[in-house]
């Protein structure tokens, strides 16, 4: 449904795993890739007006999100292969000494094991304080429901990189959040969003549920465009191959102008 909105304008169950200290950076028999699929997705000029009506952001469960996320979930929301592909992407694309913010974060951010030593700062926001407190990679964290209060509790130009792992589909005010991410990034900073095909369907925005993987990437690209102040979005298929690789994984990112 959501993909058709753009097209017309243009002409989970969580995966379980061991709790702490299991983020792997390389695995025998597992192969990682970085296929640029931008040309397959961003094929037409963007419509003059934002193509998504308010109804696109409704959800099956409109009850208070804080109640839904009140119980900590110490699980992985993508499978083993996708987690390690994401860790590898961060390892190979984020420069040493960077200051990082992980929004919609949890008890693990999927960064390489040595990131706390290699990076200057790793901050986070998320829905559950107990999950964030269990995230040993964080320098600091501030619980925040971005659907209620999209303003990020950080100063302008605080970060080199902002990440968001399989959570953009829960944002009901994505343009406000993308504008806030731009505000807290330094000029030239990157916003990296990863996405698979798992979700909590009752809390995902309605239009997301009717789309496929490439349409999801297109919608994220639309958020960048209509939020303003971003370079052209790029999309990558980083789905791994090898043992324990079932979930797809896609990256959409853009640079703050």
Q: Which are the contacts of 201, defined by CB distance < 8 A and separation ≥ 6?
A: 12, 60, 209
Q: Which domain holds residue 193?
A: 2-12+28-223+233-255
Q: Is 120 inside a domain boundary? A: yes
- pLDDT value at residue 28: 59
Query: Is the torsion defined by CA of 54, 57, 59, 63 positive or negative?
Result: negative
Q: What is the CATH number of the domain that holds 70?
A: 3.40.50.150
Q: Is 186 inside a domain boundary? A: yes
Number of domains observed in the structure of the chain: 1
DSSP 123-170: EEEES-HHHHHT-TT-SEEEE--TTT--S-SS-TT-EEEEEEES-GGG
Q: Which of 252, 251, 256, 126 is nearest to 182 (CA)?
A: 256
Q: Which of 211, 139, 141, 144 is nearest to 171 (CA)?
A: 144
Per-residue pLDDT of the chain (257 residues; tens, 9 = 90+): 444 445 443 333 333 344 334 444 445 578 999 999 999 999 999 999 999 999 999 999 999 888 877 777 665 668 888 999 999 999 999 999 999 999 999 999 999 999 999 999 999 999 999 999 999 999 999 999 999 999 999 999 999 999 999 999 999 999 999 999 999 999 999 999 999 998 888 999 999 999 999 999 999 999 999 999 999 999 999 999 987 688 999 999 999 99
CA 125 – CA 101 distance, rounded (Å): 8
Q: Is 18 inside a domain boundary? A: no
């Amino acid at each position: 449904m959501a993909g058709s909105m753009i097209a017309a304008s243009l002409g989970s169950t969580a995966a379980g795993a061991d709790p702490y200290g299991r983020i792997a950076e390389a695995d025998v028999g597992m192969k990682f890739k970085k296929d640029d699929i931008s040309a397959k997705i961003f094929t037409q000029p963007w419509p003059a007006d934002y193509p998504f009506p308010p109804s696109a952001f409704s959800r099956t469960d409109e009850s208070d999100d804080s109640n839904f996320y009140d119980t900590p979930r110490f699980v992985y929301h993508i499978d083993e292969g996708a987690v390690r592909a994401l860790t590898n992407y961060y390892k190979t694309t984020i420069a040493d000494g960077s200051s990082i913010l992980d929004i919609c974060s949890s008890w693990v951010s999927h960064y390489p094991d040595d990131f706390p030593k290699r990076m200057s700062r790793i901050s986070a926001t998320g829905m559950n304080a107990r999950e964030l407190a269990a995230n040993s990679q964080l320098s600091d964290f501030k619980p925040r429901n971005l659907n209620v209060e999209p303003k990020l509790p950080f100063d302008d130009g605080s970060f080199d990189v902002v990440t968001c792992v399989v959570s953009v589909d829960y944002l009901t005010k994505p343009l406000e959040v993308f504008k806030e991410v731009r505000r807290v990034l330094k000029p030239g900073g990157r916003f990296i969003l990863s996405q698979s095909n798992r979700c909590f369907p009752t809390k995902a925005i309605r239009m997301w549920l009717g789309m496929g993987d490439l349409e999801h990437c297109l919608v994220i690209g639309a958020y960048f465009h209509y939020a303003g102040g971003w370079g052209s979005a790029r999309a990558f298929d980083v789905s791994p191959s090898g043992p324990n690789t079932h979930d797809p994984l896609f990256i959409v990112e853009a640079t703050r102008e």
